[in-house]
Amino acid sequence: MDQKRLYIGNLSYKTTSDGLRQAFSQAGQVVSADVMMDRQTGRPRGFGFVEMASDEDAKKAVDMWNGKELDERTLRVNVAQPKASRM
């Protein structure tokens, strides 16, 4: 089974990893959900990643959430690009 990692942008600073998991579970099985935190301040950075269990669930999640509101912010949701290697 393929797993698809989604980039979630424009998150509210109130959104938690659990809140993200609950929201995206409406579209299908969530493998993981993480709101990225700033190392220095410990505050949310305004984006995160959700890993869905299948391509189908990932597509459903993008269709369901891209351009929609969560915690009073309009989300940007798309398939995450592979991390570029740092040289």
pTM: 0.90
Is the pLDDT score of 76 beyond 60?
yes
Domain total in the chain? 1
Quick: pLDDT tens for 1-55: 456 999 999 999 999 999 999 999 999 999 999 999 999 999 999 999 999 999 9
* Domain membership flag for residue 57: yes
Please enumerate in sequence order all residues whose Cβ is within 8 A of that of 40, keeping only pairs 6 or more positions apart, or say none.
none
* Domain membership flag for residue 87: no
Is the pLDDT score of 86 beyond 90?
no
* Domain membership flag for residue 86: no
Query: Sorting pLDDT into bands at 50, 70 and 90, what band is 83?
Result: confident
d(CA 67, CA 20): 15
* Domain membership flag for residue 84: no
Q: Which domain holds residue 19?
A: 4-79
Number of Cβ atoms within 10 Å of the Cβ of 7: 15
CA 73 vs CA 1, 67, 69, 77, 84: distances in Å: 32, 9, 5, 12, 28
**Helical packing angle, 55-65 and 17-24, nearest 10°:** 100
* Domain membership flag for residue 25: yes
